[in-house]
Amino acid sequence: MSSENIFVLSNGESVPVIIENRRGARNVTLRPKTSPNMEIHISKPWTTSTKFVLNFLESKRKWIEKILDSVPKKEKITPNIIISILGRDVRIIHDETMRGNGYLDADKTTLCIGGGVDMFERRTREFIKNELLVEIKKIIKTTPRPYWPTHITLRDTSSRWGSCSSTGTISFSWRLAFAPYEVMRYVVMHELSHRKYMDHSPEFWANVSMLYGFGVERAKRWLSKNGQSLHRYF
């Protein structure tokens, strides 16, 4: 595997190109990645030259740039920023004299992050991830026990908001914390439905609607239209 190549966008921004030789591969495959960083992953047969791959990449410039241009520009998390967390607008402040992190009001609209300023962003991220995990567990407990997963994990995926394994482990993108609450709840009900149906059959979608209730189509549309915005931070 190599990451020494660079693809320069029309705006001058440089994107790392990671080329991997795949045993048994017959074609060159391009996979633009937008999270946590912008990268272009390419798999190729052992016999295909790097020069050929880079020329092929250039021939796909319009397609690559269209995908990468759709990604919202990262916004740095700094003290006093206001962001949406689980459907609430929250002001995040910093107090280096505090050892812990927590909300300062019952409405959870002001979050104080303690510790040194060099730890501010990391501690904010971890707090938000933990908040999401707590809410996901609350939602799961509103459903019948057969739907409950054997294990829950949070990941930082670029294109999948959730997944359910045959062993009962369910994974969620932690960036769902920035989605409207009902959209996040939709993804939870979607993955829980895979505990019964490991496909996207009509029966599966009926099960999602049964668990979610009224408004499931609205939540699906919001995620399809606005999902990329959830990668705005971090």
Residue 34 lies in domain: 2-69
Q: What is the pTM of this model?
A: 0.76
Among candidate residues 45, 69, 93, the one where a domain is terminated: 69
Q: What confidence category does residue 35 fall into, taking pLDDT thresholds of 50, 70 and 90?
A: low
Best CA proximity match to 180, nearest among 115, 110, 87, 91: 87
3-class SS at 17? strand
In this predicted model, what pLDDT tens digit does every residue of 206-229 receive, in sequence order? 999 999 999 999 999 999 999 988
State the total domains in the chain.
2
The CATH number assigned to the domain holding 156 equals 3.30.2010.10
Do both 64 and 87 map to the same domain?
Answer: no
User: Pairing state of beta strands 88-95 and 110-114?
Assistant: parallel
Specify if 46 maps to a domain.
yes
Best CA proximity match to 8, nearest among 67, 63, 58: 58
pLDDT of 137 reads: 98
Do both 30 and 108 map to the same domain?
Answer: no
Among candidate residues 23, 42, 69, the one where a domain is terminated: 69
Among candidate residues 12, 38, 69, the one where a domain is terminated: 69
Percent of the chain with pLDDT over 90: 82
User: Pairing state of beta strands 151-155 and 169-173?
Assistant: parallel
In this predicted model, what pLDDT tens digit does every residue of 98-114 receive, in sequence order? 999 999 999 999 999 99
pLDDT of 193 reads: 98
Question: Which of the residue ranges 10-14, 23-27, 68-72, 155-159 would you say has the lowest mean pLDDT?
Answer: 68-72
Question: Please, which residues bridge with residue 18 across strands?
Answer: 41
Q: Which residues make Cβ contacts (< 8 Å) with residue 232, sequence separation at least 6?
A: 72, 73, 74, 75, 178
For residue 31, is pLDDT > 70?
yes
pLDDT of 157 reads: 84
- Per the structure block, which two tokens stand in for 141? 């407990």
Do both 10 and 125 map to the same domain?
Answer: no
Mean pLDDT score of the chain, rounded to an integer? 93
In this predicted model, what pLDDT tens digit does every residue of 158-174 receive, in sequence order? 778 999 999 999 999 99
Question: Which of the residue ranges 43-47, 124-128, 142-146, 190-194 would you say has the lowest mean pLDDT?
Answer: 43-47
Do both 153 and 39 map to the same domain?
Answer: no
Do both 158 and 120 map to the same domain?
Answer: yes
Do both 154 and 40 map to the same domain?
Answer: no
